[in-house]
Structure formats: C-alpha cells, structure tokens
Chain A
Amino acid sequence: AQTVTQSQPEMSVQEAETVTLSCTYDTSESDYYLFWYKQPPSRQMILVIRQEAYKQQNATENRFSVNFQKAAKSFSLKISDSQLGDAAMYFCAYRTGTSGSRLTFGEGTQLTVNP
C-alpha cells in the first residue's frame, strides 16, 4: 500500500522569507502523481501544485515550487516570498496513474507565517 509521510507537524516562516515543507512517499508503482494541497482556516482544500512522476522537470506555480526526487521518493514544497495568506495546513498527496484512483494524504504540516 502507498503511504505518504510528512515529518514536520508544524513549521513557521517570517513574511517574505522562504520555507520548505517535506514529504516522502512509498510506492512500488512507476506511474503516479503527487500533489500539494493547502487547507486554510476555512477548511476548503485548495490545490497548490501537481507533479507527474514521469516528468523530470520540477513543477512550478508562481511562488510555489517542488523538489521532486523520484529515486529518493521525496517531494518537498518550497514557498518563496511567504505571505500572510500562505498560513494554512499543507497536505502532500499521492495517487496512482489508474484513472479514478484515490488520493492518499500525508498527516499535514501546519504553516505559520509571522509578520
């Protein structure tokens, strides 16, 4: 079974600084997708970034980028120029390449942004 591990229950960062959230996963599949979701206090799940395992290039979305290390099964999220609105719970998630497959979530990392 696939597992997703986020070893940092809490992280904090100063506004305008950079922070990296860690995620590791375990799978025997070769075709899969990885995601980072943000859950602010409203509890609405928001997709931050997505990475296809077959792509070597790391995904980037504005201030958000990932460091995808397939051999190490690592998928960290870097947030640059942190803003107060980035404060949220961040979940790393995995799904296989099979259509309709479920998301497996990590435990989450609570990010605090200090002004």
Chain B
Amino acid sequence: GAVVSQHPSWVICKSGTSVKIECRSLDFQATTMFWYRQFPKQSLMLMATSNEGSKATYEQGVEKDKFLINHASLTLSTLTVTSAHPEDSSFYICSARAQTGYGYTFGSGTRLTVV
C-alpha cells in the first residue's frame, strides 16, 4: 500500500533555530500534501495545503513566514519551522493524496520540542 515516510520522528531544538521536517511518498506521486499540527489529546489541526509546484495555502491564523512549506516534487514535501519558540512544540503530521483515488496516506508524525 501507499507509504509516506516522515522524518525526523522527533527533534529537540533550541529556541531561535529552524527545524525542517520531511515527508516523502515512497510508492506514489503525492499531488497534494496536507500539514497538520496536533496537541496532546486533541484533534488534528490543518495548517496548510500544498500542491506540487504551487505555493502552499495556509489556514487562517497560521503564519506562513514561520511555517515554510515546500512541495517542489511529487514525492517530497517539507515543513520548516523558522525561529522556533517553545510554543511551537507540538506533534506535526503530514498527509499525502495522489491525483486519483480518494485515499489519504499519513506520515508517522514528528514530535518537536523547542527548549
């Protein structure tokens, strides 16, 4: 079945530094990538949607200059948290969709801790 590899699975960084999270679709072409943020015991909150080769569409309240999304190829999308602060500590999950079909394939998530 479809697989999305998300790395790193966890990362600790110092306040003020940037962190990049990668999601790779291993056996299909991800025309659309969704990036979510999840706090403990809460639902997934959509941050942005990106289509290959286009600029990402950010949800209201999400700072596009802080959360940089790149989807330059059909198999790779990245989320960069710039100038991270402790309040950015969270669980980040990507989800990919192919052009055909209605399935969503989720990455395994990245736990970000900013100290």
Q: Which of B51, B93, B106 has most A Cβ within 10 Å?
A: B106
A95 touches B102 (CB 8 A): yes
B74 at the interface (CB under 8 A from A): no
* Interface residues in A68-115 (C-beta closer than 8 Å to B): 89, 91, 95, 99-100, 102-103, 105-108, 110
Contacting chain A: which of B41-49, B61-69, B75-83? Answer: B41-49
Residue in chain A with minimal CB distance to B51: A100
**Which residue in A33, A43, A50, A102 is a CB contact (below 8 Å) of B109?**
A43
B108 touches A105 (CB 8 A): no
* Interface residues in B62-115 (C-beta closer than 8 Å to A): 91, 93, 95, 97, 99, 102-104, 106, 108-109
- Looking at chain A's contact residues, the main secondary structure is loop
- Closest CB in chain A relative to B10 CB, distance in Å: 11
A100 touches B43 (CB 8 A): no
A44 touches B106 (CB 8 A): yes
A42 at the interface (CB under 8 A from B): yes
Complex CA distance for A61 and B11, rounded to whole angstroms: 36
Residue in chain A with minimal CB distance to B44: A105
B95 touches A45 (CB 8 A): yes
Say yes or no: A42-B34 contact (C-beta < 8 A), given A47-B103, A102-B49, A107-B43: no
B32 at the interface (CB under 8 A from A): yes
**Which residue in A43, A95, A102, A103 is a CB contact (below 8 Å) of B108?**
A43
Complex CA distance for A108 and B43, rounded to whole angstroms: 6
B42 touches A108 (CB 8 A): yes
Say yes or no: A100-B103 contact (C-beta < 8 A), given A45-B95, A105-B43, A108-B43: no
CB-CB nearest 3 A-B residue pairs: A45-B106, A100-B32, A105-B43
Residues of B within 8 A of A (CB): 31-32, 34, 38, 41-44, 46, 49, 51, 91, 93, 95, 97, 99, 102-104, 106, 108-109
Residues of A within 8 A of B (CB): 33, 42-45, 47, 50, 89, 91, 95, 99-100, 102-103, 105-108, 110
